[in-house]
Amino acid sequence: MEPVLEVRDLRKTFPGVKAVDGISFSIEPGICFGLLGPNGAGKTTTIEIIEGILKEDSGTILYKGNNRGKRFKAEAGIQFQSTRLPEYLTVFETLKTFRGLYPGKSDIDWIIEVCRLEEILHRDNRKISGGQKQRLLLAIALTNNPELIILDEPTTGLDPQARRHLWEIVTGIKNSGKTIILTTHYMEEAERLCDKIAIMDYGKIIDIDTPYSLLLKHGQGATIFIRTENPEKYLNTLACQYFIVENGIEFRTDSLNQCVQKLAASGADLAGMTIRTPNLEDVFLKLTGHTLRA
């Protein structure tokens, strides 16, 4: 199946900084593709080059097998990190204004239903909440009936309930057959929405795969936490690598069963034991050495 978007050996340098250093990837139709990286990794520069805001120094970007042109502009929808809306318009008037800019148009009733705007249609767009504004911005990105949608940190600053509300909407849009590129500062968001993830740092892609495969490759082992006021009594056990932490002791191991058996054989009180397996955030930390917000 031909990729919707293909990036080949993309490079962009600013004075003293290789922001994007020879990255390549392709995006299959109908998936959500996540681009993750700590601040300064190069993901925003990559997205802005794809969008056409910045010019690459070298490299190739293909849309449906051809160089980007009028077709890409007509078939791509973008939700920017920050957008200033026209003032003194209602939500409905704002949608009609942006929809009128494109020859190809989505059904406006479909947009309103998908983005759940029914209750705020006649409200001044300056007087809506943060979550409502993000839904409106997503609706604007859908007005030209795009095949490729770029969502640049769409849930930053939202409360957990509004964030999950937007996740449901994005999932529904993906299920309708559209292709999505997502950047985010929330690992849970990436793990829930993305079919494939590229992790960037220092302008390069460190790894790219499905969330499940990334966990298989880089998320081995487990952490055992035992709540205790006297962690020193476990130090002679040396069942596995350990760290004294607040309210207890943590054991890190690649052989979970063996470690638990050694702890039990040593007489350790396992009643309050908690076992945590690695998640995508652990993988990200392992690959980049940073938290996502570093």
Judged by DSSP in three states, 174 sits in helix
Task: Kindly state whether residues 17 and 156 are assigned to the same domain.
Answer: yes
Task: Kindly state whether residues 115 and 256 are assigned to the same domain.
Answer: no
Task: Kindly state whether residues 20 and 63 are assigned to the same domain.
Answer: yes
Does position 225 have pLDDT exceeding 90, yes or no? Answer: no
Task: Kindly state whether residues 235 and 166 are assigned to the same domain.
Answer: no
Average pLDDT over residues 190-203: 94
Task: Kindly state whether residues 110 and 174 are assigned to the same domain.
Answer: yes
Q: Is residue 264 assigned to a domain?
A: yes
Q: Dump pLDDT digits (tens) for 67-103.
A: 999 999 999 999 988 788 888 999 999 999 999 888 8
Q: Is residue 113 assigned to a domain?
A: yes
Q: Is residue 286 assigned to a domain?
A: no
Q: What percent of the chain has pLDDT above 90?
A: 58
Q: What is the pLDDT of residue 291?
A: 59
Average pLDDT over residues 252-266: 82
Q: Which domain holds residue 256?
A: 221-277
Task: Kindly state whether residues 99 and 120 are assigned to the same domain.
Answer: yes
Length of the chain: 294
Task: Kindly state whether residues 104 and 154 are assigned to the same domain.
Answer: yes
Domain boundary residue among 216, 243, 266? 216
Task: Kindly state whether residues 76 and 139 are assigned to the same domain.
Answer: yes
The tokens for 186 are: 């929330």
Pairing mode, if any, of strands 148-152 and 179-183?
parallel
Q: What is the pTM of this model?
A: 0.83
Question: Domain total for the chain?
Answer: 2
End-to-end CA distance of the chain: 37
Q: Dump pLDDT digits (tens) for 46-64.
A: 999 999 999 999 999 999 9
**How are the residues of the chain apportioned to helix, strand and coil, as percentages rounded to the nearest 5?**
35, 30, 40
Q: Dump pLDDT digits (tens) for 16-41.
A: 899 999 999 999 999 999 999 988 89
Q: Is residue 293 assigned to a domain?
A: no
Task: Kindly state whether residues 110 and 202 are assigned to the same domain.
Answer: yes
Domain with residue 254: its CATH number is 3.30.70
Domain with residue 197: its CATH number is 3.40.50.300
Q: Sorting pLDDT into bands at 50, 70 and 90, what band is 292?
A: low
The tokens for 157 are: 């600053």
Whole-angstrom Cα distance, residue 130 to residue 122? 17
Q: Is residue 292 assigned to a domain?
A: no
Whole-angstrom Cα distance, residue 7 to residue 30? 17
Task: Kindly state whether residues 116 and 180 are assigned to the same domain.
Answer: yes
Q: Dump pLDDT digits (tens) for 134-184.
A: 999 999 999 999 999 999 999 888 888 889 999 999 999 999 999 999 999
Task: Kindly state whether residues 226 and 194 are assigned to the same domain.
Answer: no
Amino acid identity of 219?
G
Q: Is residue 200 assigned to a domain?
A: yes
Q: Is residue 24 assigned to a domain?
A: yes
Task: Kindly state whether residues 29 and 119 are assigned to the same domain.
Answer: yes
Q: What percent of the chain has pLDDT above 70?
A: 96
